[in-house]
Amino acid sequence: MKMKFVTWNINYGKRWKKAIELIKKFQPDILALQEVSSFFPYFNLENVNVLKEFQKAMPILKYSCFAPVMQRERNEKLQQLGNAVFSKYKIVDNEVIYLHKRLHWSRFWWNRQAKNLLEAKIEIKNKLLFIYSTHLSFFPLLLDTKKRLKQAEKILETIKGKKPLIIGGDFNGEPNSKVIKKIKNALNSVDYQNQPTFKFKGFQYKLDYIFHSAGLKVKSCQILETNASDHRPMIVEFEWE
């Protein structure tokens, strides 16, 4: 059986219409998103529920779950930011594992937000597949820190004994970082020649990754050029027996 999986940090949904148009072209079976917002009070998103817009635009991905890292009520609207998973297959269960702090809202939201790992348990032809969407903390110069290493350890602790599984996300670390090497020691990585996935002011970095357990074979991989986000989406086709 073949399955198309996409992971993408959509940059708060600043260009959500373009992001949706791009995703619809590739018709993924499962989609893992990071920096998904609803009524976010920045970037002219105060009146946009990006999470709902994705749900409406892709009815084939009729199952979804969401894990906020920031949340509060303002003016009768629920302002949120977090990670999401969308699937055309039934999500039978989901769990939110906090990697750094608990859910909260801070005026220093850009560097003090909580971090979590969203686990979606998906049923495909009477078999279970574990899908994860995550976003690790950023540190200047992309340096490894104790906090980031603890986040990686928490991820590995959470997935222990669970397979088959796929993790997609923005890990804010380059391929030779301790964080990425730690995860690669436990899982297979879709490296795609370590092609950059993030652009900022002329600089390019490989920050986004897809990791998977044994038993899943990678048939193809694409990293797309787009101005819908400062990150590039990764599209991988897996074969699963």
Q: What is the pLDDT of residue 201?
A: 81
> Are the CB atoms for 230 and 195 separated by under 8 Å?
no
Distance CA 37, CA 24 (A): 19
Q: Evaluate if residue 60 carries a pLDDT over 80.
A: yes
**Domains delineated in the chain:** 2-240 (3.60.10.10)
Percent of the chain with pLDDT strictly greater than 90 = 84
At 51 the three-state DSSP class reads helix
Distance CA 241, CA 239 (A): 7
For 139-195, the pLDDT digits (tens) are 888 889 999 999 999 999 999 999 999 999 999 999 999 999 999 999 999 987 778
> Are the CB atoms for 187 and 211 separated by under 8 Å?
yes
For 134-144, the pLDDT digits (tens) are 999 998 888 89
pLDDT category of residue 96 using cuts at 50, 70 and 90: very high
Dig out the tokens for 70 from the structure. Answer: 């920031």
Q: Evaluate if residue 20 carries a pLDDT over 70.
A: yes
Dig out the tokens for 35 from the structure. Answer: 């920096």
Tell me which residue of 216, 218, 212, 210 sits closest to 241, measured CA to CA. 216
Tell me which residue of 134, 122, 125 sits closest to 162, measured CA to CA. 122
Strand partners, 188: 212
At 18 the three-state DSSP class reads helix
User: 73 CB contacts (<8 Å, ≥6 apart)?
Assistant: 79
Buried b (16+ CB within 10 A) or exposed e, 32-42: bbbbbbbbbee
Dig out the tokens for 37 from the structure. Answer: 């917002």
Distance CA 56, CA 157 (A): 35
Q: What is the pLDDT of residue 193?
A: 74
Residue 144 phi/psi, 5° resolution?
A: -75, 140
Q: Which amino acid is residue 169, in one-letter code?
A: G
Q: What is the pLDDT of residue 110?
A: 67
pLDDT category of residue 202 using cuts at 50, 70 and 90: confident
Please state, as a whole number, how many other Cβ atoms lie within 10 Å of the Cβ of residue 65: 21
> Are the CB atoms for 8 and 231 separated by under 8 Å?
yes
Task: Indicate yes or no: pTM above 0.95.
Answer: yes
Q: What is the pLDDT of residue 5?
A: 98
